[in-house]
Structure 1
Amino acid sequence: MNLRRMSRTAMLYVVAGLLVSVWVFPVLWALLTSFKTERDVLAYPPTFIFTPTLSNYREVLFGSGSILPNLWSSAVVSCSATLLTMLFAVPAAYALARLRYPGRRASGFYVLATQMLPPVGLIIPYYLVMQRTGGLDSYPGLVMTYLTFSLPFAIWLMVSYFEDIPYEMEEAALLDRAGRFRTLWYVILPQVRGGMAVTTVFVFLNAWNEFLFAVVLGGNHVRPVTVAMFNFISVEQTQWARLAAGAMLAMAPVILVGLAAQRHIVKGLTVGAVKGGGRR
């Protein structure tokens, strides 16, 4: 039995290692490429032993093609969109999960329908609206655009966490005359902190990595880093080393956010494994 258990555990580790390597290999390859010269990048067969250089990072950060302003634009847009999304998504998800009001099913279906719309089909309407309202190449215009497609996702993700909270906890607080808002703030929200962390990280990731709306609705003033990295790609030449360095710098804030919220993310992803005792 012990031998069988050990072999099964070893097999699981091997399978998990293979699955992780599918994600890790491109990242490691890009990391190695960011320290190469253009000559080493284009060498065939690929070189694994080379003299590393920081010139690509210096050029990307402080050269003529610096992406520092673009990192700032991405940070402003992503943080603002995430903050507004969570500000509206939490009470909306609470209402859909806990309250009984006329039109609840219709409003839930509307939120789901907006989440299912293909983003590419909304580019032209968004562009025309932003052009008429002066929202092109501006932070408010891009933030409001991101809010429209991140809000339905956040609402439906948060609904599942609110539904796992037993109704008895809320009823006890209401019987003590805590009020609906105080019950939400002091009783319900502490129970769904993990779910809020997961939702916040996912919304931030979607906003940070978004490219389609940024390239169409942005401009010279507001240009997120996902759009700025295309400056290293041209018809004549693609600067692979600098592009890889820019990609590593663009990944760094996302990795830091994930590490900072790791404990809450794990708790939030596993909270639905055991359903609460609430009524449906």
Structure 2
Amino acid sequence: MNGTASQRMLRILAAWFVVGLFALPIYYWITVAFKPNRDIFALPPIFFDFDWNLSSFEEVFGLSFGFEKGLEVLPGGGNFYMLPNLWASVVIAVLSTLLTVVVATLASYALSRMRIPGQHHFVFFVLSTRMMPPVAIAIPMFFIYKSFGLLDTYTGIILVHALMNMPLAVLLLKSFFDDIPTEIDEAALIDGASRVLIFRKIVLPMAMGGIAATAVLCFIFSWTEFLFVLTLTQTAFKTVPVAASTFVTSTGTAWGNMAALGTAAMIPAFVFILLVQRNLVRGLTLGSLKQ
């Protein structure tokens, strides 16, 4: 028992060490958002004992908060007003994820359940498009978008994010549909159900875990994507990753403001993951047990 207890304690300590190893940089980045400049560059680094303030958040979000004056809107939005950029990121990430998941779900179900001539070659073609580095198509996409008037538009960025996410989403969802026994479809067909009804009432609810896992990956890619937004937008809007690269002044990089924006940018991703958490756990374990 002593040996077993010691091993269990070592596993717990190792787990906490790994958690701390990943959590420490995030914690330090969050504290930078609340630090004055003199504490940001202090050596050795200050982790706890510093003067907390909200000036970086006030400049980024154009809001001023005080216990006596309450919440006020700053005229002009501060020096680094980024609330429109945060909203643009939310709109693009949500809509591109929704578009990708809807199209990929239908395509992956067809690939999983229907016998299509040259199916294996088609799957390989879908996978090969994801192997291409984004920088290889950024300039061609710029000229295509310029010809169709899609530069500096939400529609253009949503489409290109969906395009880049589609191969991964199709292949990932196909693996989830493959794990659902085809005998279920066959039994429903014998009972007189149509393919559409089987997909909507039987297969789709069983694959919700896989769909949630795919949606999380698509959302994170769109939320953090930099190159296409930088290339295909000019003046109308910038998403958070591109906007964060502009935090440069005559005196250097505004690390406090950048950390404030980065801290706020974590929240939508965490909220989205929490909303699909139940289905996400099912999706990560789907197929791990075979009957």
Alignment TM-score, normalising by the size of structure 2: 0.91
Alignment map for 1:15-54 (pairs within 5 Å): 15-48=14-47, 49-54=49-54
1:72-125 deviations in Å (ceiling 9; x for gaps): 111111111011101100011111111112121121111111111111111111
- Alpha-carbon distance in structure 2 between the residues aligned to 1:67 and 1:252: 15
The separation in 1 between residues aligned to 2:110 and 2:83, in whole angstroms, is 41
Q: Does 1:182 align with 2:211?
A: no
- Picking from 152, 165, 182, the partner of 1:137 is 152
Structure 1 Cα separation of the partners of residues 2 and 283 of structure 2: 35
Partner of 1:61: 61
Choose which of 149, 153, 171 in structure 1 pairs with 2:186.
Answer: 171
| Alignment equivalent of 2:174, drawn from 144, 159, 183 | 159
Shift of residue 5, structure 1, vs aligned partner: 2.1
Which sections of structure 2, spanning at least 5 residues, go unmatched? 63-77
What is the match of residue 213 of structure 1? Answer: 228
| 1:145 Cα offset (Å) | 0.7
Report SS of the residue matched to 2:204.
helix
How far apart, in 2, do the equivalents of 1:129 and 1:91 lie?
A: 27
Query: Counting strand residues as a fraction of each chain, which structure ranks higher?
Result: 2
> Do the aligned residues in 1 keep the contact of 2:99 with 2:162 (CA within 8 Å)?
yes
Question: Aligned runs of 1:101-250 on 2, under 5 Å?
Answer: 101-234=116-249, 236-250=251-265
8 A contact 2:80–2:257 mirrored in 1: no
Higher relative contact order (CA 8 A, sep 6+): 1
Cα distance, 1:235–1:124 mapped onto 2, change above 3 Å: farther
Question: Quick one: distance in 2 between partners of 1:169 and 1:47?
Answer: 59
**Deviation string for 1:33-77 (max 9, x for gaps)?**
111011111222223311100111111100232111001111111
Task: Return closer, same or farther for 1:217/1:110 CA change in 2, 3 Å cut-off.
Answer: same
> Are residue 89 (structure 1) and residue 104 (structure 2) matched?
yes
Offset of 1:235 from its aligned partner? 6.8
Equivalent in the alignment of 1:100: 115
Quote how far apart the aligned CAs of 1:169 are: 0.6
Q: 1:70 aligned to 72, 80, 85, which one? A: 85
Cα separation, 2, equivalents of 1:209 and 1:259: 18
> In structure 1, what is the equivalent of residue 67 of structure 2?
none
Distance 2:3 2:207 in 1: 39
SS at match of 1:223: coil
- Residue 239 of structure 1, CA deviation: 0.9
Question: Given residue 53 of structure 2, which amino acid in structure 1 is its aligned partner?
Answer: T
Which residue of structure 2 aligns with residue 12 of structure 1? Answer: 11
Paired residues, what number? 275
**40-49 vs 227-236, which deviates more?**
227-236
Amino acid at match of 1:174: L
- TM-fit CA distance, 1:18: 2.1
Q: Name the Cα RMSD after superposition.
A: 1.3
CA distance in 1, matches of 2:275, 2:192: 37
Looking at structure 1, the residues matched to 248 and 191 of structure 2 have their Cα atoms a distance apart, in angstroms, of 63
Distance 1:122 1:236, change over 3 A: farther
Structure 1 residues not aligned, in runs of 5+: none
When the two structures are superposed, what TM-score results if normalisation uses the length of structure 1?
0.94
Alignment partners' CA distance in 2, 1:32 and 1:221: 32
Deviates more, 1:247-256 or 1:64-73: 64-73
